[in-house]
């Protein structure tokens, strides 16, 4: 089986169990060395992290903690269009479509990096 470089990175990050699953989505390669938590924890609990931190930030004004949605987007956005939505390989959309979980965040939140919003070219992964 031939695997492309991007595919290999995505699969390596996704972990053995995930890679073994039938027709697992091939997602955009993230930027940076590692995520704020390990992949299995993030896959299961990212929404709990986000929900906890959003209350701390909105109501108490605590900024700069590690589990931020804006932080997710900055690393996981597509290298070309700077977005996490748009095609089955875009990070958030690809996985949520695969597991059939509705994705509400981006009804209000921007799905693009700050650079993409400002019209600057997206940086390389």
Partner 1 sequence: MNPVDAGRRDFLGRSAAFAGVALAPGVVLYEIALARETGKAASPAVRWGMLVDTTRCASGCTACVDACHAEHGIPAAVRPTDAQWIRKVELKDLRTGAIRSAPVMCQHCAEPPCVDVCPTGASFKRADGIVLVDRHTCIGCRYCMMACPYKARSFVHEPTTGQKTDTPRGKGCVESCNLCVHRVDKGGAPACVEACAQAGHRAIVFGDLNDPASEIAVRVRAATTTQLRADLRTDNGVLYQGL
- Name the residues that contact partner 1, by CB under 8 A: 54-56, 58-65, 70, 73, 107-110, 113-114, 117
Q: How far is the CB of 77 from partner 1 (least distance, A)?
A: 11
- 17, 26 contact by CB (below 8 A): no
**Cβ closest to partner 1, residue 80 vs residue 114:** 114
**Cβ closest to partner 1, residue 59 vs residue 102:** 59
How far is 75 from 56, CA to CA, in rounded Å?
Answer: 22
How far is 51 from 67, CA to CA, in rounded Å?
Answer: 9
Q: How far is the CB of 48 from partner 1 (least distance, A)?
A: 14
**Cβ closest to partner 1, residue 2 vs residue 60:** 60
How far is 68 from 25, CA to CA, in rounded Å?
Answer: 24
Q: How far is the CB of 96 from partner 1 (least distance, A)?
A: 18
**Cβ closest to partner 1, residue 38 vs residue 55:** 55
Report the b/e string of 46-83 with b at 16+ CB within 10 A.
Answer: beebbeebeeebeeeeeeeeebbbebbbbbbbbeebbb
Q: How far is the CB of 117 from partner 1 (least distance, A)?
A: 6
């Amino acid at each position: 089986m031939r695997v492309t470089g991007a595919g290999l990175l995505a699969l390596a990050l996704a972990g053995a169990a995930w890679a073994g699953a039938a027709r697992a989505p091939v997602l955009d390669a993230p930027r940076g060395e590692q995520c704020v938590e390990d992949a299995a924890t993030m896959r299961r609990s990212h929404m709990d992290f986000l929900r906890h931190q959003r209350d701390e930030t909105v109501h108490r004004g605590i900024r700069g903690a590690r589990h931020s949605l804006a932080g997710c987007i900055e690393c996981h956005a597509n290298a070309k269009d700077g977005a996490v939505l748009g095609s089955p390989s875009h990070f958030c959309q690809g996985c949520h479509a695969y597991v059939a979980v509705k994705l509400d965040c981006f009804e209000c939140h921007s799905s693009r990096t700050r650079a993409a919003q400002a019209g600057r070219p997206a940086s390389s992964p």
